[in-house]
Amino acid sequence: MTTQKDIAEKLGVSVALVSRALSGKAEAIGVAAATVRRIHAEAERRGYIPNASARLLRGGPSRTLGVIVFDFADPFFGPFIEELHRLAHTTGHSLVLIGVEHRRVEPRDLQPLLKHGVGGAIVLGSGGDAAGLAVLASRRLPVARIGHGPLGGMALTTHVDERAGVAAVLGHLAQTHRTTVGFLGGIHPAQEERFEHFRAGLADAGLLSKPVWQVFSAETLMQAGYAACRQLLAQSRRELPAALVAGSDVVALGAMRALKEEGLSVPQDIAVTGFDDIPVAQLVAPTLTTVRQPIARMARLAFEAVTHPAAAPQPAHAVCKPALIVRESA
């Protein structure tokens, strides 16, 4: 592996000068711009990679961030990880990803992050037990969360305005004269909150729902929508609602499969809406009407909160505006 000493010897300059040039501090002491360019060119030619451990030993900031994913099976998190990677790549950071079991952060889960000397961490997911994050807090490392949950000393928590998203869906169904609606969900903190907003918003939207049309399934994430819809069909076949509001896009896709198996057409026989706008929502047939979460904005807020904690917004809680995306399913 190429070191700063190798670059210095090749160019006939000091190691200290190479270090200052590669860290962006050479101009501050009057080093000629041409010399700085020569050093950067030689570093690039040799494929020089900064040594994170050496930087930490010198008291420099860590350029490595941890990402704690509550559920790798949830396709909603994929775009977030992609956006965090883009931000890290743009700013010269690296990411270390870890997962946890049953939405519970244990101190032992964080060992890979501590091993890599992370300068902060971003939690992807709502609810659960994040008490184990105290290990990071004890080291005064900034932590941000994308999802619902207590601040608990975090630099920032950010999530979508769930109430506004559900209200937009109900308003759209009312405008399209689908006045009877059901709700399908999985056992998930965000979906449970969306259901509460669903129930609270029915009267304002002029819609009717019945308890028999409101079904939650304890099946796994990918099966919850299918199982919940099968249950609803079994107990309500003679009187189905005009529309089904799903707690997530994955739930909506499972419901659409169950409806198809029963010979019901979406949206002609029954409309279906989702929440999240995962990439596949615009590829299925029919394409899914859903609520788009502002992924780029939430990822950027969380990223900036852990890379520049002193500049995090006050209060450290950012609620982001969603957008209703109307497609073919409703």
Condensed to tens digits (0 to 9), the pLDDT of residues 129-169 reads: 878 888 888 888 899 999 988 767 788 899 999 999 999 99
Examine residue 191 and state whether it is found in any structural domain, yes or no.
yes
How remote is the C-alpha of 25 from its chain's centroid?
Answer: 35
Same-domain status, 205 and 275: yes
Task: Say yes or no to pLDDT of 55 above 60.
Answer: no
Same-domain status, 307 and 280: no
Same-domain status, 186 and 254: yes
Same-domain status, 208 and 278: yes
Residue bearing the bigger pLDDT, 47 or 72: 72
pLDDT at 274: 98
Same-domain status, 287 and 310: no
Average pLDDT, whole number, for the chain? Answer: 90
Task: Say yes or no to pLDDT of 314 above 80.
Answer: no
Same-domain status, 73 and 103: yes
CB atoms near residue 44 (< 10 Å): 9
pLDDT at 54: 54
Same-domain status, 77 and 142: yes
Residue type, 257: R
Same-domain status, 306 and 274: no
For CA atoms 246, 248, 253, 255, the dihedral sign is negative
Give the pLDDT band (50/70/90) at residue 1: low
Range list of H helices, the chain: 4-11, 15-22, 33-46, 52-57, 77-91, 111-115, 134-138, 162-175, 189-205, 221-236, 249-261, 295-307
Task: Say yes or no to pLDDT of 60 above 60.
Answer: no
Examine residue 119 and state whether it is found in any structural domain, yes or no.
yes
Examine residue 330 and state whether it is found in any structural domain, yes or no.
no
pLDDT at 129: 83
Number of compact structural domains in the chain: 3
81-85-86 Cα angle (round to 5): 120
Examine residue 329 and state whether it is found in any structural domain, yes or no.
no
Same-domain status, 143 and 220: no
Residue bearing the bigger pLDDT, 310 or 77: 77
pLDDT at 144: 93
- List, for residues 105-119, the tens digit of each pLDDT value: 888 888 888 888 899
Same-domain status, 148 and 178: no
CATH number (domain holding residue 103): 3.40.50.2300
- List, for residues 24-38, the tens digit of each pLDDT value: 777 778 888 899 999
Same-domain status, 191 and 286: yes
Q: Whole-angstrom Cα distance, residue 60 to residue 78?
A: 31
Examine residue 328 and state whether it is found in any structural domain, yes or no.
no
Q: Whole-angstrom Cα distance, residue 304 to residue 290?
A: 28
Examine residue 306 and state whether it is found in any structural domain, yes or no.
yes
Same-domain status, 168 and 288: yes
- Of 120, 119, 122, which is closest to residue 146 (Cα–Cα)? 122
pLDDT at 62: 67
Helix (H, G, I), strand (E, B) or coil at 287: coil
Task: Say yes or no to pLDDT of 318 above 80.
Answer: yes
Name the packing angle between helices 189-205 and 162-175 (round to 10°): 40
| Average pLDDT of span 215-230 | 94
The DSSP annotation for 205-231 comes to: HT-B--GGGEEEE-S-HHHHHHHHHHH
Domain containing residue 237:
162-292
Examine residue 255 and state whether it is found in any structural domain, yes or no.
yes
- Of 11, 60, 63, which is closest to residue 36 (Cα–Cα)? 11
Examine residue 56 and state whether it is found in any structural domain, yes or no.
no
- List, for residues 251-264, the tens digit of each pLDDT value: 999 999 999 999 99
Task: Say yes or no to pLDDT of 287 above 50.
Answer: yes
Q: Whole-angstrom Cα distance, residue 227 to residue 308?
A: 44
| Average pLDDT of span 235-241 | 89
Q: What is the DSSP letter of 151?
A: -
Task: Say yes or no to pLDDT of 57 above 50.
Answer: no
**Residue 77 tokens, joined:** 């998190």
Task: Say yes or no to pLDDT of 177 above 50.
Answer: yes
- Contact (Cβ atoms closer than 8 angstroms) between residue 247 and residue 214: no
Q: Whole-angstrom Cα distance, residue 225 to residue 229?
A: 6
Q: What pTM, to 2 d.p., does this model score?
A: 0.80
Rg over alpha carbons for the chain, rounded to the nearest Å, is 25
- List, for residues 151-162, the tens digit of each pLDDT value: 677 888 999 999
